[in-house]
Structure 1
């Protein structure tokens, strides 16, 4: 009787372990940088480049200029999977000078080109665009932004691109300063192509708890990272990101992590940065 029980239990345990191992896929790590750095990054195990919208997708430039960049990307050892620095500061998202129609036209060009280039994520930080003008109603600004987000999400869906809203710390912007605030806005926009970004640097700057990641984890589709001091590259001051990584693990996060930091010596810091992140992710 004991022998039969042993024979039945072992395969079940083995199967459970196999499933658990198959779910432990490594999180792709990239850098917010110029596409030209792709070869250096590839040598140390980075998976992708996060470029800038204005630099790589060039929405205000003729199609011919984008074709040149598209050709460069096709010959790059690493793909461009995300783009940041989305809406220029002169195109206001909120306030009396908001220009939603111009923003949506700009966004459509960016999203169309993103699809052609294989870019999956567009980061909506753009503090200059979304800062609330002095004296303007915060409630009205919030309503303006949600309306814009809903319209923008429909265009993003057409081109199979996901917008991720990036909360910025209070020294950089006066609107959407936490994962919690951003999460509530994303919930109201309520569209699968408009999701949330967690930037660990901004969270640390404003002392936002990792619990915000747990609470809004199902909305988080992208992550940025830098150390709090000097917005330094991970591994510079040995800052501990493990509480935030553990929060991401609790949510079953399956997105990417981009280093968005101030580099002092790119060539010597890139191996340290990726090793620091991988070590802390696995501890």
Structure 2
């Protein structure tokens, strides 16, 4: 079972040397960056190993749930970002669509209109990713980060309500804990989960806090989730702290083999 960590792509060798099976690269400001005129450009990267997953897809300045933002502006950004990702990605690599600030609807836009626009953008991202042999996975975010889709159950309902096929869901222990989502729900919906993020209490490295990491992973494994686990947390020193964090995740995971 692979275990990885989210970090900028230039930290790949550090992560692998510390015992990670892979690095999940961030995107905004790492693989794409803004020009002085506001246009986005790819940033050349040449990692030693191709990357199986990516996070932080959309910059907070691009309001993808706002119908007043031209859809071509969103599509143009996604084309640039996905080309940059494809240049360094493994075939079938996952791209986490969290991006809370970007997808927040806000009080000035009717919820139904903002939700419909985000659904449209999600389909555009899905199709553009598929064209590059990549996969978009939708991440629920706690209410402190976004006003749209806070739980795995809400993500499943959103996808069903908008008849969006072929998009799996991210189960992130940090957001699950802050939203108080039941692990029973995660077990029931595990067949729709395509990616997992973990951290310990307050987003510190696993093993340094008291969150129920083992119970979380056990529920997902009982439900049939058989894929990897990525650590997403705050680090004081990635190289120094990562070995113990990976050991804590492997020890907590009943699917480890």
* TM-score of Structure 1 vs Structure 2, range by shorter chain: 0.7 to 0.9
What is the Cα-based RMSD across aligned positions, in Å? 2.3
Q: Which has the higher relative contact order, 1 or 2, with Cα contacts under 8 A spaced 6 or more apart? A: 2
8 Å CA contact retained: 1:201, 1:231: yes
Cα deviation, residue 64, structure 1: 9.2
Moved more, 55-64 or 167-176: 55-64
Number of corresponding residues: 249
Structure-2 change in CA distance of 1:275 and 1:57 (3 Å)? same
Which structure's CA Rg is the greater one? 1
- Work out which of the residue numbers 82, 86, 93 in structure 1 matches 2:64: 93
Name the structure where strand makes up a greater proportion of residues. Answer: 2
Residues 85-164 of structure 1: matches in 2 within 5 Å? Answer: 85-119=56-90, 120-164=93-137
Structure-2 change in CA distance of 1:63 and 1:139 (3 Å)? closer
CA distance in 2, matches of 1:56, 1:96: 27
1:205 matched to 2:178? The reply is yes
CA distance in 1, matches of 2:127, 2:254: 37
Provide structure 2 residue ranges, at least 5 long, that are not aligned to the other structure. none
Name the structure where helix makes up a greater proportion of residues. Answer: 1
Cα deviation, residue 63, structure 1: 11
| Structure 1 match to 2:11 | 37
TM-score normalised according to structure 2 size: 0.88
Cα deviation, residue 256, structure 1: 2.3
8 Å CA contact retained: 1:91, 1:99: no
Cα deviation, residue 265, structure 1: 2.6
- Post-superposition Cα deviations, 1:202-225, rounded to whole Å, max 9, x if no partner, equal 100111111222232222111111
